[in-house]
Amino acid sequence: MTVDLVVRGCRIVTSTATLEGFGIACDEGKIVQISTDSTLPAADEVIDAKGNFVLPGIVDTHVHMRDPGDTVYKEDWTTGSAGAACGGVTTVFDMPSALDTAYEVRDISTFRRKEEAARSQSVVDFALYGLIKEDNLDDLVKMVGVGAVGFKVFFSASAPGAPPITDGAAVDAFSRIAKTGRRIAVHAENARMIERNERAFKTMGRGDVMVHLEIRNNLSEAEAIQRAILFAEATGAKIHIAHMSSGSGVDAVAAAKSRGLPVSAETCPHYLLLSSDDYKRIGSVIRVNPPVRHKTDSERLWLGILDGTVDCIGTDHAPHSREEKVTDDYWKTLSGFPGLETSARLMLTQINSGRLSLNQYVKLSSENAARLFGIYPQKGALTVGADCDLTIVDMRHEGVIKAEELQSKSKVTPFDGVRYRGKPVCTIVRGNVVMEDGEIVSKPVGQLVKPAS
Ligand code: ZN
Ligand code: ZN
């Protein structure tokens, strides 16, 4: 038999083992054989991994591609998915919010509009969240029917013109979604506390970036996470705490898990690797919601990563233009920055320094996300029958992150100038080689990923 693709010379990494001298055979997008190199079948295309580590393709549970929308000057599916591929990411979960609410994914037709934009441009696979709004509760279950991977709810505002959901509507939505088994990603910050703090600090005339930490303080996140857990327990809904940034958040999730509640959590590299000590050096670019917090918070998040309280590392890839990010006025700076291309390099560097293992990283970057959102083992697994999504990483490759070299339209990152050791060198999506040595080498092959049931 001749298959489509063979990758030989791999060190295959799963969450439980590392296999040396093995290879992977792929046919029609699926893994058909994993065996020693000498027993692999003949193939139309052969890639030599040269002893590099081969991981299940990275699944990023949190990106904002801005497309369709009136903000595609910040990013679109072509540039965003190129960034994903260069970052070793093979599946992105796109958030349903939009800065202009006309482009939110909030019902079947807006879901299909987003799916079409992604399919025509993306070089990586994509899953789409539906948005929970005050007034679209009857559309939620219908979005499950067309393939929504989960939902996102904002306990604090997502866009300037979009008020946060009321608690009553949130509970109603949680009850409806509980019946579908889909998971709800929660933006957990207390809107009323934040609004009051904003007014107070504006009156005081504060406009420096440090004020961000005080406006969106730890209590505003801890309260919202606790509330989300209460709502989940009352309704039976599965929830996923998005971009968890605080130590008290980790404690709340750990307590919920110990009580057997279906609560999972995601954090991002900026919460693990940056702290309040970095605000003066990085300036306004560091602004993100929730904020990068204190050393004690990142230390608690690291413990949560190692003990399984934190399930996933997402990026909250949220590009803006340079003018929107680099300002000397807090009130004019937008929150968020791109992360798809930098996440793996940053985390592989931590692995090289011994802070976690590649096997643990497979869980955090891929396997857990796929399991939690019902797309395992199609995604998140190196096993016969799974999609052949591979991230090949060279753990010895050293370099410096340069903002101007990002594939993203947004040439802004708080990690500009940071040295790394370890880099994705090849990204394969369902047997299609989409990135090789930092170059995009494929036409758009991305498809919508739907949970099995
Ligand atoms: Zn959010
Ligand atoms: Zn986000």
Q: Quote the percentage of the chain above a pLDDT of 90.
A: 97
- Give the ligand whose atoms come closest to the C-alpha of residue 152: 1
Tell me: the pLDDT tens digits for 19-65?
999 999 999 999 999 999 999 999 999 999 999 999 999 999 999 99
Tell me: the pLDDT tens digits for 363-408?
999 999 999 999 999 999 999 999 999 999 999 999 999 999 999 9
pLDDT of residue 265: 98
Tell me: the pLDDT tens digits for 82-102?
999 999 999 999 999 998 889
How many angstroms separate the alpha carbon of residue 91 from the centre of ligand 2?
A: 16
Long-range contacts of 104-109 (CB under 8 A, 24+ apart): 104/131, 104/133, 105/129, 105/130, 105/131, 105/143, 106/130, 106/131, 106/133, 106/136, 106/139, 107/136, 107/139, 107/142, 107/143, 108/139, 108/142, 108/143, 108/145, 108/146
How many angstroms separate the alpha carbon of residue 221 from the centre of ligand 2?
A: 14
How many angstroms separate the alpha carbon of residue 98 from the centre of ligand 2?
A: 10
How many angstroms separate the alpha carbon of residue 75 from the centre of ligand 1?
A: 17
Nearest to 237 by CA among 307, 152, 310: 152
Tell me: the pLDDT tens digits for 226-261?
999 999 999 999 999 999 999 999 999 999 999 999
**Is the pTM for the entire model greater than 0.95?**
yes
Q: Which amino acid is at 243?
A: H
Element (H, E) at 125: strand 125-131
How many angstroms separate the alpha carbon of residue 293 from the centre of ligand 2?
A: 17
Q: Apex CA 16: angle with CA 52 and CA 377, to 5°?
A: 90
Domains annotated on the chain, with CATH: 2-54+386-395+421-440 (2.30.40.10), 55-371 (3.20.20.140)
How many angstroms separate the alpha carbon of residue 314 from the centre of ligand 2?
A: 10
Nearby residues for ligand 2 (ion, Cβ within 5 Å):
316
How many angstroms separate the alpha carbon of residue 317 from the centre of ligand 2?
A: 7
Element (H, E) at 273: helix 269-273
How many angstroms separate the alpha carbon of residue 60 from the centre of ligand 1?
A: 14
Sheet holding 263-267, edge to edge: 58-63, 89-94, 125-131, 150-154, 183-187, 238-241, 263-267, 312-313
Residue 374: C-alpha distances to residues 181, 191, 264 (Å) = 9, 31, 13
Cβ proximity of 54 and 382 under 8 Å: yes
Element (H, E) at 152: strand 150-154
Residue 90: C-alpha distances to residues 42, 130, 239, 365 (Å) = 25, 21, 23, 11
- Give the ligand whose atoms come closest to the C-alpha of residue 245: 1
- Give the ligand whose atoms come closest to the C-alpha of residue 154: 1
How many angstroms separate the alpha carbon of residue 318 from the centre of ligand 2?
A: 7
- Give the ligand whose atoms come closest to the C-alpha of residue 316: 2
Residue 161: pLDDT band with limits 50, 70, 90: low
Nearest to 126 by CA among 384, 429, 442, 437: 429
Q: Quote the percentage of the chain above a pLDDT of 70.
A: 99
